Structure 1
């Protein structure tokens, strides 16, 4: 715009300048006017070129601004895509971990057993020097972890196991029993002799076992329990889930 202003001022200046004329008179004046018209025409042509250039520059500036806006929009969209990809990666990692867990679980043995003390009629156990209770009536023994000949359960794999048991007895002796793991008492039931004719109780626990750990039930000293086909004195257990080395 400054260049155009200078051109206009130049044209005005030229139109105002009139040289002194000699004796040539009208001839010199005519030549001067002709030259002046040619100069004005050239300046007008240049002015038109400048105006076109100015228009082209403004159009280019508008396109550049539009490109900048578009790039900003694309940058914002890329940011959204990156966040979305991060979410997908997190879900993918979680899915891979779940697949690995399912693979481990699918390859782990299924372990569950349930048994009662009496497999015929009514029986009483205790008081006795051999205090181990052997549950003879087998309801289930998936994985063969429980040995009905010894009353001992042996963990086949490392894992978390759930155990529950119930005891029933008469008031003549201490009623109850202890759950023993590798020779160490874990939980128990207990009831003193009382005026009641009979007593019953139950207990349960979740234990972390290593493969080869052994559990069984024992009577208390001077203790006794009873059972019949109604299944009052029982022992049950199952593998909740196996444990890998990293989870221990």
Structure 2
């Protein structure tokens, strides 16, 4: 809202006084008539300006009052919403207290005892799992090209290590040594492009052949074979893969020949 300075109201009054003062010294009627006409025109002009300013002030005052009423309405609405939210919060707090009371009633000494016992069993299992040995390995040949044919059976050394948790697979010898008495799972895959050749591998436990997979033929295409076994091992037992005499396998960046093992559980 505009605030008009006081001089806007004093200007017409000053002009009037000045003109009246000058009118006392007017020597002739013509000059007096001319000055009165000019003075009358100035007063009318100032009055029009005052009227326009009053109209503008009334319009702005009306707009300001409207804004104040709207603001008051919004404030009242916010107060109502806050009151509703406070009521809901108080209701939620009462419900929470009621639930706490109900739960306190149902937590009997027997229930508390069972809870304590369950917590103890969970802690025991967590300790056993933390102490349980973690043993697993997964490998591939790690070379591109053929392995074999040799005149004698040869232990296969898998150079590429995907994982060797516990470090019980020897990357230099290709032999896995059991660190604990337990049940283990072993698997392997083999592949070769058969051209009147024989591919195959045998899995050994210590000096005993356990399983074998292979294929012979002139297929003129890539062939695969695989096998797996679950064994109970004693501490220090060894597992390795053996390439029989005159057999061959082939590997490349696709890791076609793999050897894997994992401890399922100790016994």
- TM-score tier (shorter): 0.5 to 0.7
Please, which of 198, 213, 224 is the counterpart of residue 200 of structure 1? 224
- CA-CA distance at 1:125 after TM superposition: 3.0
Match of 2:164 among 133, 138, 141: 141
Residue in 2 that maps onto 1:127: 150
CA distance in 2, matches of 1:212, 1:178: 20
Match of 2:140 in 1: 116
CA RMSD of aligned residues (A): 2.8
Give SS of 1:164's match.
strand
Match of 1:160 in 2: 183
CA contact (8 A) 1:132 1:216 kept: yes
Equivalent residues in 2 for 1:35-50, closer than 5 Å: none
Instruction: Give the alignment partner of residue 227 of structure 1, picking from 251, 255, 261.
Output: 251
Specify every segment of 5 or more residues in structure 2 that has no aligned partner in the other structure, as ranges: 1-111
**C-alpha distance in structure 1 between counterparts of 2:234 and 2:114, whole Å:** 33
Per-residue deviation, residues 201-236 of structure 1 (Å, max 9, x unmatched): 111111111111100000123211111111001101
The 2-side partners of 1:95 and 1:185 are apart by 47
TM-score relative to the length of structure 1: 0.56
Q: Note the alpha carbon deviations across 1:68-103, whole angstroms, 9 max, x for none.
A: xxxxxxxxxxxxxxxxxxxx9999999877765553
| Structure 2: distance between partners of 1:241 and 1:98 | 19
1:95 to 1:223, Cα distance in 2 relative to 1, 3 A: farther
1:34-73 per-residue CA deviation (whole Å, 9 max, x = no partner) reads xxxxxxxxxxxxxxxxxxxxxxxxxxxxxxxxxxxxxxxx
Distance, in Å, in 1 between the alignment partners of 2:207 and 2:118 is: 41
**After the TM superposition, which residues 85-104 of structure 1 pair with which residues of structure 2 at under 5 Å, given as runs?**
100=124, 102-104=126-128
Q: What is the match of residue 237 of structure 2?
A: 213
1:60-79 map, 5 Å: none
Distance 2:231 2:118 in 1: 28
Q: 1:102 to 1:188 in 2, by over 3 A?
A: farther
Per the alignment, residue 43 of structure 1 pairs with none
TM-score (norm 2): 0.52
Q: How many angstroms apart in 1 are the aligned matches of 2:258 and 2:128? A: 31
Larger deviation: 98-107 or 197-206? 98-107
Q: Deviations over 1:148-189 (max 9, x none)?
A: 110000011111111111001232322110110011111121
Q: Secondary structure at the match of 1:104?
A: helix
Alpha-carbon distance in 2 for matches of 1:196, 1:94:
63
Q: Is the 8 A contact 2:188 2:227 kept in 1?
A: yes
